[in-house]
Amino acid sequence: MVLFEPLTLPGGATLPNRVAKAAMEESLAGPGQLPDARVEQLYRGWAHGGAGLLITGNVMVDRRALTSPGTILLDADSPLAPFRRWAQAASSGGNHVWMQINHPGRQVGSDMPGVAWAPSDVAISLGRHTKRFARPTMMTEADIEATVARFAVTARRAEEAGFHGVQIHAAHGYLLSQFLSPLVNRRTDRWGGSPENRSRLLSSIVRAVRAQVSDGFAIGVKLNTADFQRGGFDLDDAARVIETLGGLGVELVELSGGTVESPASMGSTTDHRRLGREAYFLAFTGQLLESATMPLMLTGGISTRETAERVREQGVAVVGMASALALRPDLPRCWREGSDARVGMARVDWKDRSLAAAGVLAYVRYQLRRLADGKTPRPHASPRRIFLADALAHRRRLRTYRTWLAANPTEVH
């Protein structure tokens, strides 16, 4: 079956099959922004669900810059024991597990302590929701160099903890995606301007990570096919970046799309481009398949076996699924056993597109929390009730994170 053939990556590691759990932010960090028993429970379920590769929700490289107050952090001072337990649970089904590592840049809430950095002083624009996000500060050369080092440290420590690889997050409008975008990156130094300069931060991080980890440790990158904003990062840019990454030893590039301003990863764009009902970005992969010297992975709205097989048949090496595995963690195993099992999500068709995108994320987090608590998902739970409860939980997590960060403001060197 095309979905369950093994895949040997360029570095020599072999994935047991072509189905991957793509990253979903769990917001399940315990005290100290660390993984705990709930995270282990969640990933143990996926490990025995049949996917050949699990990619974690984004793990932060800088304690002052989290995507949310419930996000897990791995920096120079994080104790490794909780991460070792996480890696062991997440690979207990014979699958591979990679840690997604990330810096949010300007995509942080205005209520969050810490820093909101960006390549340039360009704020997120979301109409009446703009004030939900912090006003960013343009990064200095020292800020950039320190960030490169932080990614490398996190990757090295992920390997020490037992993960098989890392995925560097350069999509969805986070920091590395911001540097790639001509809309956000208006710098005139070596970090901005030309496509080569705008991709310099990503390339520098890949090189720094490779220098810190062993040859057998996999390095992947998550990249937008496009930002789906007029004048932003586009398909030609993506093709150039993929060509560059091939020369740096990147072993798997996951293709997605969009930013918080244009939530294409949830099927909606601000530039009104037509996305598929499933496999949103499949129509944009042809040019990228021609540019790639490494295997490509596609994610975005894939939830049926028929669609997953179609993605593989069009030349994509790995099929990534996210929300579907929040509702049915054993979906790949069911498919392998011959079932055409499907999942059904509640619709979040609110008129306010920004709120709808936030509602989808809250709905998915709710299902992940149930799995982490040993409960079954509730696909038909009310998205509005979940959204309101999630907002209250965010406030509680924020108080906890504020207290911790104030007591532990920076790493000890």
**Lowest model confidence (mean pLDDT) among 55-64, 226-235, 246-255:** 226-235
Give the pLDDT confidence score for residue 257 in this predicted structure.
87
Q: Give residue-wise pLDDT tens across range 6-18.
A: 999 999 999 999 9
CB 85 within 8 A of CB 72: no
In a domain, 413, yes or no: no
CA distances from 137 to 51, 117, 118, 134, 184 (A): 40, 5, 6, 9, 12
In a domain, 1, yes or no: no
pLDDT over 90 (residue 341): no
pLDDT over 50 (residue 336): yes
pLDDT over 50 (residue 172): yes
Taking the C-alpha atoms of residue 398 and residue 413, their distance in angstroms, rounded to an integer, is 26
pLDDT over 80 (residue 278): no
In a domain, 315, yes or no: yes
pLDDT over 90 (residue 245): yes
Give the pLDDT confidence score for residue 268 in this predicted structure.
53
Asked whether the whole model's pTM tops 0.85, one would answer yes
Alpha helices per DSSP H over 285-382:
286-291, 305-313, 323-327, 331-336, 353-372
Task: For residues 151-164, give the mean pLDDT.
Answer: 98
In a domain, 2, yes or no: no
In a domain, 412, yes or no: no
Which CATH number goes with the domain that contains 201?
3.20.20.70
**Which structural domain, as residue segments, surrounds residue 394?**
7-407
Confidence at 242, pLDDT banded by 50, 70, 90: very high
Q: What is the mean pLDDT of the chain?
A: 93
- Total domains present in the chain: 1
In a domain, 172, yes or no: yes
Confidence at 271, pLDDT banded by 50, 70, 90: very low
pLDDT over 50 (residue 125): yes
